[in-house]
């Protein structure tokens, strides 16, 4: 029965989830074939040696069983005692569903079809996948770095990693998590931390990591054998190094089973070794096909027998009960998302499109899978503080789908409408799910710790970025690559400013709670100063970003919170004092504005498509008048063109992505409407504005007149105010952190006694 449900869910979600990743895979494959030649690739595939093919199949089959064995041990690691046969069937089912869906989502869905009868909840299942993927990413990235150093030299790899700021990101994320634990570490978190740091647990982690490394080496061996079969003279170690980079690229969850990305990476990397593109394509395709064949052969084994034998009792655990395991899994998944949401980068698609990727996206996808499958198998939708919030999310989904179809009929499918908007909404649902999971499972305490984690990470990012700029101004790290604006790791100063505003809304809403009790330090006065310093740091980061919308919105938030007593007034006053001290202290120490960097650099990519090149920023504390006037004029022009499009179709709009597709004719490059309401009106018409307006009204009414928890309502009201003000001059509907926090604030705890 569960397999029928899974297949039904797959078909229902086919247009939404599968279409986008299929589109990207097909597009990348087409580009790879264009550079290689279909005839040449087909000829190489036909001539591929049969003995080598059999060895590759054997290695990939061994890898499939090895990964299944790792999953079995991982279940035991979490205290879940299931038989090897059940774990093997669940692993096979996960791979089978991943062939036709987003890999992360499909893997969890397939596994859950088997594990559900064993009593394993979707939340625990998703956390197991997060554990696996994290270790896989670390090991695969490490092998890729080693391969890059061997092929290109340490200098080239160090320069590449310097542009990505991986070390700085790792330090900021770790420090943010540590500061959050210092702020309010509870007995639950203390026990969990001690358990994770125990020698027994570290031994288990090393064991899982060793199995992951063995699986990766098997995959690399397949590439090496494939290349040597076609080009025996190719150097072994160089092929191994190139294969490590290709394998890492294929593991990115942006296409179906790595198709497209793997082929492009193979053509590029093996081309560096002098291997022609047709040969590289043939090897990559053959490895991909061979990886699918064992899974297809295993499907009858998965479907023929029941998911769990009747003799198997539901979920026997060795160390924890079901609620403890689920609570720990939800806490880990939610906190990882809260830390990672501040770190994002941009990928340029073929054709010039830009996709904004976030380190928290994989965790959001896992959270969406957990919540969706929990609703499917329990036949119960998520429970929110607002009764009609499920309806609201459904209406937004239908509106975007209708707009996508409307735009498709008007101008065809575009990368922007399909990838950035339609698929982007599914990612946002994942962020809503991540916020929901932690509060639904851990209650008011989880919400407070969630807000403290956001606050701690934001503060660390601001202080770290200020320190780096100060050190550069003093002559240290002259080769360090800095962005031209103070934008944290958001890729855009306005996006960073909005991140800080969201954290500000949470802090202001919870400031009265911190005034009463806190786990930081004993003594009410000291607690006030610590929270005030953090709020002052957020205000300083807003000022350093030079985001006019951010500074204006932040001032309004402080005024509203103080006037209506939504926050502690003493904390607000002291935060302004700290903000002035931080600003003047850094200015006096470095004699430079923290947003100015003296080095020339490549144009920064924003969270939205922009011109191929940017005008060099002036080396001054503020923008020049001409720069500000040009920005204002461009923003106004987007308003004018949006109004023109709306007049063409006032009821239903012109369709999703139409403005972006037509904007190069107006601006010379892809552009967006710098106003969320106008974007909705232009592309969805009056119908879309009514739907979104009704949802915003329901949220606002709850925040003002409902009988829910006072601190939650205060934070929600300030969050909605920040969104309303900032969206007047920027399109911020797709800002991840907003939906993450919204899901956390609206989630209703499973247990009534756990809520405030």
**Stretch 717-743: mean pLDDT:** 96
Do residues 529 and 581 touch, judged by C-beta distance below 8 A?
A: no
**Neighbour count for residue 229 (Cβ, 10 Å):** 20
Do residues 88 and 72 touch, judged by C-beta distance below 8 A?
A: yes
DSSP state of 18: I
pLDDT in tens, 363-380: 888 888 888 888 877 788
Hey, what's the torsion of the CAs at 251, 252, 254, 259, to 10 degrees?
A: -40
Cβ burial of 371 (10 Å; 0-12, 13-18, 19+) is buried
C-alpha 534/C-alpha 578 separation (Å) is 9
C-alpha 242/C-alpha 271 separation (Å) is 10
Closest CA to 438 of 371, 359, 385, 389: 371
**Neighbour count for residue 67 (Cβ, 10 Å):** 20
pLDDT in tens, 332-365: 888 989 999 999 876 554 444 455 678 898 888 8
**Stretch 158-166: mean pLDDT:** 60
**Stretch 657-665: mean pLDDT:** 92
Sorting pLDDT into bands at 50, 70 and 90, what band is 197?
confident
pLDDT score for 126: 85
- DSSP per-residue string spanning 166-219: HHHHHHHHHHHHHHHHHHH--HHHHHHHHHHTSHHHHHHHHHHHHHHHHHHHHH
Lowest mean pLDDT among 5-19, 135-149, 186-200, 582-596: 5-19
- DSSP per-residue string spanning 58-89: HHHHHHHHHHHHHHHHHHHHTTEE--HHHHHH
Sorting pLDDT into bands at 50, 70 and 90, what band is 125?
confident
């Amino acid at each position: 029965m569960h397999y029928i449900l899974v297949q039904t869910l797959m078909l229902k979600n086919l247009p939404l989830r599968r279409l986008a990743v299929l589109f990207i895979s097909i597009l990348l494959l087409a580009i790879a074939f264009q550079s290689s030649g279909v005839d040449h690739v087909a000829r190489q595939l036909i001539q591929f040696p049969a003995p080598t093919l059999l060895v590759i199949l054997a290695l990939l089959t061994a890898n499939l069983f090895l990964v299944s064995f790792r999953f079995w041990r991982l279940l035991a690691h979490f205290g879940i005692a299931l038989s090897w046969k059940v774990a093997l069937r669940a692993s096979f089912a996960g791979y089978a569903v991943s062939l036709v869906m987003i890999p992360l989502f499909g893997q969890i869905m397939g596994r859950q079809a088997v594990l559900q009868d064993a009593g394993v909840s979707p939340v625990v299942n998703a956390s197991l996948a997060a554990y696996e993927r994290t270790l896989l990413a670390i090991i695969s990235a490490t092998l890729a770095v080693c391969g890059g150093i061997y092929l290109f030299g340490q200098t080239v790899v160090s320069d590449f990693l310097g542009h990505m700021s991986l070390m700085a990101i790792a330090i900021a994320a770790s420090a943010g998590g540590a500061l959050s634990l210092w702020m309010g570490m509870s007995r639950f978190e203390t026990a969990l931390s001690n358990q994770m740091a125990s020698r027994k647990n570290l031994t288990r982690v090393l064991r899982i990591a060793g199995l992951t490394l063995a699986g990766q080496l098997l995959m690399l061996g397949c590439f090496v054998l494939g290349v040597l079969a076609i080009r025996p003279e190719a150097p072994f170690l160089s092929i191994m190094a190139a294969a490590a980079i290709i394998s890492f690229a294929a593991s990115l969850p942006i296409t179906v089973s790595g198709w497209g990305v793997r082929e492009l990476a193979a053509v590029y990397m093996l081309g560096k070794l002098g291997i022609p593109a047709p040969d590289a394509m043939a090897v990559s395709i053959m490895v991909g096909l061979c990886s699918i064949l064992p899974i297809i052969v295993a499907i009858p084994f998965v479907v023929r027998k029941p998911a769990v034998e009747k003799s198997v009792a539901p979920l026997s655990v060795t160390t924890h009960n079901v609620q403890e395991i689920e609570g720990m899994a939800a806490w880990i998944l939610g906190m990882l998302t809260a830390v990672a949401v501040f770190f994002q980068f941009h990928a340029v698609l073929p054709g010039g499109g830009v996709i904004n990727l976030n380190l928290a996206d994989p965790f959001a996808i896992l959270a969406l899978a957990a919540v969706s499958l929990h609703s499917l198998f329990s036949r119960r939708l998520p429970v929110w503080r607002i009764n009609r919030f499920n309806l609201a999310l459904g209406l937004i989904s239908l509106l975007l789908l209708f707009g996508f179809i409307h735009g498709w009929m008007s101008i065809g499918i575009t990368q922007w409408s399909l990838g950035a908007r339609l698929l982007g909404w599914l990612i946002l649902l994942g962020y809503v799910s991540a916020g929901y999971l932690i509060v639904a499972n851990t209650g008011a305490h989880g919400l407070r710790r969630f807000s403290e984690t956001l606050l701690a990470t934001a503060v660390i990012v601001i202080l770290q970025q200020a320190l780096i700029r100060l050190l550069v101004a003093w002559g240290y790290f002259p080769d360090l690559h800095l962005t031209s604006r103070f934008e944290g790791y958001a890729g855009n100063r306005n996006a960073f400013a909005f991140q800080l505003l969201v954290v500000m809304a949470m802090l202001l809403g919870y400031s009265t709670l911190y005034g009463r009790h806190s786990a930081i330090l004993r003594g009410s006065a000291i607690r006030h100063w610590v929270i005030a310093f953090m709020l002052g740091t957020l205000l300083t980061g807003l000022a350093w970003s030079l985001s006019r919308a951010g500074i204006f919105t932040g001032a309004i938030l402080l005024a509203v919170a103080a006037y209506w007593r939504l926050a502690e007034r003493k904390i607000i006053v002291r935060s302004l004092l700290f903000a002035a001290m931080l600003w003047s202290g850094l200015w006096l120490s470095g004699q430079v504005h923290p947003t100015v960097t003296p080095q020339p650099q490549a144009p920064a990519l924003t969270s939205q498509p922009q011109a191929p090149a940017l005008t060099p920023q002036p080396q001054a504390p503020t923008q020049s008048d001409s720069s500000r006037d040009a920005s204002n004029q461009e923003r106004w022009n987007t308003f004018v063109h949006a109004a023109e499009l709306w007049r063409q179709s006032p009821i239903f709009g012109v369709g999703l992505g139409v403005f972006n597709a037509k904007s190069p004719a107006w601006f010379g490059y892809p552009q967006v409407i710098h106003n969320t309401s106008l974007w909705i009106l232009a592309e969805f018409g009056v119908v879309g504005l009514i739907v979104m307006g009704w949802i915003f009204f329901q949220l606002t009414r709850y925040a003002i007149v409902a009988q829910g928890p006072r601190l939650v309502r205060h934070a929600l009201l300030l969050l909605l105010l920040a969104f309303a003000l900032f969206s007047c001059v920027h399109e911020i509907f797709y800002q991840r952190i907003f939906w993450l926090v919204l899901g956390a604030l609206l989630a209703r705890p499973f247990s009534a006694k756990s809520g405030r």
